[in-house]
Amino acid sequence: MALKMSLRRLRIIVCAMIQSRRARRHLRFMRRTCCSGTMAIIILTMLLLLAAIYTARLPTKEQLHLNYIAESLDVKYYLIQNSKKEYMALTNTGDQPMNLTNVELYFYHMLRKIHLDSKFDGIAMELHHVDGSLFRLRFSKNTTTQVLQSQEKLVVSLKSSISTWARSDVSPNWYITSPGCTPVLLHCTVGEDLNFAKYFWEDSSGISDATRLSMHYSKAVERYNNNKNLKRFEIPPLYVIPTPVEIVADHTKPLNIRTNDWVVVADAGLEEGLPRRMLLPLSQDDPGKKVIRIRQGPVDVIIQGKAIHSKEAYRIDVSAQDERIEVTSPSTAGVFYAMQTIYSTMDEQGNIPQLKVQDAPRFSYRGTHIDVSRNFFQKDVILRTLQAMSKYKMNKLHFHLSDDEGWRLEIPGLPELTEIGARRCHDPTKVACLMPQLGSGPEATGLGSGFYTTSDYQEILDYAAHRHIEIIPEFDMPAHAHAAIQSMLLRYDKYISKDPQKASKYLLNDFNDDSEFSSVQLFTENVMNPCLSSTYVFIEHVIKSVIDLHKGHNSLKTIHLGGDEVPRGAWEKSTVCMQMGKSREELRQMFAEKIINITAKYQVDVILWDAIKKSDKDIVHKDQYNMPDNQISINVWDIGHSGQDIAHVLLKKGYKVILSNANYLYFDHPQIQDPEERGLYWASRSISLEHVFKYRPLCGGYQEKCKLVDQSENILGIQSQLWTETIRSADQFYYMLFPRLLAVAERSWHQAPWETDDTKADLMQEDWEKFASTLGLKELSELDSLGIWYRLPLPGAVFSKDGTLSANCEIPGFDIMYSVDFGQTWKVFHSGMVFHKDSGHIDSNDNREVWLAIRSHTLKRASDFVRLNFHTNEEQKLKLITDENDKPPLKLAEQSKFVPVSK
């Protein structure tokens, strides 16, 4: 618009200049110096055009003022634990007044509704929920100008629908806009440190014991006491993770396979099972010595007294005397796992011990779920994760490619899915993109936007196939479909005037649906309409396209189609649904039957999330569905809100089950109970590495006192889940996934004798100590070599009265580092160090703190660090409030009895 106005002015100016006397003199001069008067006019016009374009690009006065607000408005967002009260303090730190009239502040709030908790005499404002996690604070226009003077502070009191427990409840990259202006990021909210979010405890008197337990946070002294009795090992106590069924090793008789004269001889076709990192040459002839001989054959393994006949089984016999390694397996996958075991026992020089191994997995499904919809992660992150999965014999990647916040796979024939559904930016019309969510900001850049092209996806398929990992794509439906619905609405608008039939072909919503609802994630238009035939045309097009993408790469055996969290109220006022006369639950069953029949048509199995129905009588037996015989499996995530375990019920009803228990296997939850740890916490306040390791699959949801499930043969396996609402970088992604994923690999492959016996707690603890020590002494260095930013635990520590510091770590084998100069320099801690003014370890008599952290062997990783007061043993992690200026406004503090977080 600005450019059009400038061109109009340009025409007027040029005409006026040509008619003026001065212009004619200029033109005569230009004729003498140029080829012609026409050329002179052209040159003059071009110069004026450039000037007009430059002028049009200059920011307006309103835009300049908005930019000033973005730079100078300081935001402090106060999170109050055990309280639904929250406060937003806005301070003008600039030297000029801020006119906030009609300014809109967009910010994000995690999975909860909020509203203004008080009225303000000075600056009028309104709070609106936009959609999902996005909220808008509008400074309204009234009889007086909305001005925030220099250094003036405005405190906005808010009330939330549920209490807050973590800093990561707040997302970064807030932004402001006003009519006619380009949105601008608020500078103080940019980035992942979230320093603008301030965290406080509230007085906890009068609360329940359960709530008090949830409020408790990990302390250095408690960590020290928990760790101090852990058995320490000098060498890794486990040869291999996951633990083989049978393994006997003799390190006194090593065999070196890096002497450049070893070969591999494999039965026909089994060479496909060799890892890509295998550097030994293949040979047709068996030389007798210095050979890895790979044979195809059955391997029978006994697991807990039960014979296992698995295609993934293998046998290894390493003879140092014969200089020969024999590998037997019925499949290329078994050969691949055998080679992973051999590599795991090999040292840096290429020596492996004399070995006898007999092994097979307990479960055929050993998986992890990765959500790339909430936030998008580049192809290399997925490939690196696949590499780590294959090393630990995991074989299923559940690839969550669509949800409300984004559609992440290019689908031929439906370009709108990625043109709008894969982009998030500030566009209230939703023509160019979806609105921002989860800290993605106003521009269509970063992890809020992005998708995998067909070639990207096929590269991922190939990479996984070479590592014997099945890719299971998920397209969530009928709920969690905001991105797909908006994309098909854009397609409708594009074609409706030209070809109404084409416009309606893939439509997912009923224009005559006045239903009112809100999803768990606060979306109000995110459910496909099951009563429209076009919905199933869309679904079949997507399924057929994905099948075609998989052909020749990693054939599509199974697809996940969601099926959970349909909000109450959906479809109630849809005219097409009302004509069917079916209840909401009947419509859900109809939808499930139709989409499963579509998958059966293409001979593809289907997986669904467990339904909202939470009682035995409400879950329909599998045989009562009008569906074909293709396999239908259920991811069981429910933690027993109904007082029973859903896994037990579903197994009785004939379903194949993949255990995905949220309180053990949801890796979007924090790893310790701490407000600084990233993650959600609805299923459990924390899910630690030890907690995952001690998961007992055959007990279903009855983990404390085991109740064995019936029909355990219908348990396909275990799957961890990584949802990414609070994860916005590759490092955060790896931090939340590793090393917990190694514990999932252990439990899904190896069945320990203590899993079904409540009396064997000592054996459980012994296994945990061996596992933790093997991670610290060996396996985490392997993750370093893959470039994976895994989490290191916080140190445990305690001061004695004489100033002697004792410190330890949950995972043995790492250096504990300390600093006494506020993090400027770090040194290795040694047991029994004394800290007082005469000890020589303290640089200043005024310093009362020692800072502690864990460092990896490779020096590439370090834990978060804590500060410990050596007079009081009080601990404080660095990001928590220490500065008086960061406390809430005094009146609010006095009224609410705030106490700064300390440990």
Instruction: Say which of 565, 766, 782, 874 is annotated catalytic.
Output: 565
Structural contact between residues 768 and 694, judged by C-beta atoms closer than 8 angstroms:
yes
Helices 21-33 and 37-57 cross at an angle (nearest 10°) of 120
Beta bridge partners of 294: 266, 327
Task: Measure Cα distances from 475 to 259, 522, 562, 716 in Å.
Answer: 50, 19, 7, 21
Distance CA 306, CA 299 (A): 14
- ω before 739 within 30° of 0 (cis)? yes
CA–CA distance, 174 with 681 (Å, rounded to integer) = 23
DSSP string, 379-414: HHHHHHHHHHHHHTT--EEEEEEEETTEE-B--TT-
User: Taking a C-beta distance cutoff of 8 angstroms, is the pair 56, 6 a contact?
Assistant: yes
Six-digit token pair at 26?
């200029």
Beta-carbon contacts of 677 under 8 Å, excluding residues fewer than 6 positions away, are 166, 168, 670, 671, 686
The number of C-alpha atoms within 13 Å of 66 and in the hemisphere containing its C-beta is 21
Q: What is the dihedral of CA 523, 524, 525, 530, to 10 degrees?
A: 100
CA-wise closest residue to 439 among 791, 132, 681: 132
3-state SS assignment for residue 256? strand
What amino acid occupies position 728?
A: R
**Token duo for residue 543:** 């399924």
CA torsion 226→228→231→232, rounded to 10°? 120
Q: Which residue in 360, 257, 394 sits closest to 744, CA to CA?
A: 394
Rounded to whole angstroms, the Cα distance separating 537 from 512 reads 20
Residue 381 sits at the vertex; the CA angle it makes with 379 and 384, to the nearest 5 degrees, is 110
Rounded distance, CA 386 to CA 630, Å? 28
Q: Which residues of 186-197 are buried (b: 16+ CB within 10 A; e: fewer)?
A: bbbbbeeebebb
Q: Where are the beta strands (DSSP E) in 498-537?
A: none
Distance CA 829, CA 167 (A): 30
* Alpha helices for 297-397 (secondary structure H): 332-345, 379-391
Q: Measured in whole angstroms, how far is the alpha carbon of residue 538 from the centre of its chain?
A: 27
CB under 8 Å to 303, separation ≥6 — which residues? 245, 360, 362, 751
Classify burial at 772, counting beta carbons within 10 Å of its beta carbon; exposed 0-12, middle 13-18, buried 19 or more. buried
DSSP letter (8 states) at residue 279: -
DSSP string, 23-87: HHHHHHHHHHHSS-HHHHHHHHHHHHHHHHHHHHHSPPHHHHHHHHHHHHEEEEEEEEBT-SEEE
Which tokens hold the place of 55? Answer: 């002028």
* Distance separating alpha carbons of residues 266 and 283, to the nearest angstrom: 8
| 676 is an active site residue | no
Catalytic residues: 565
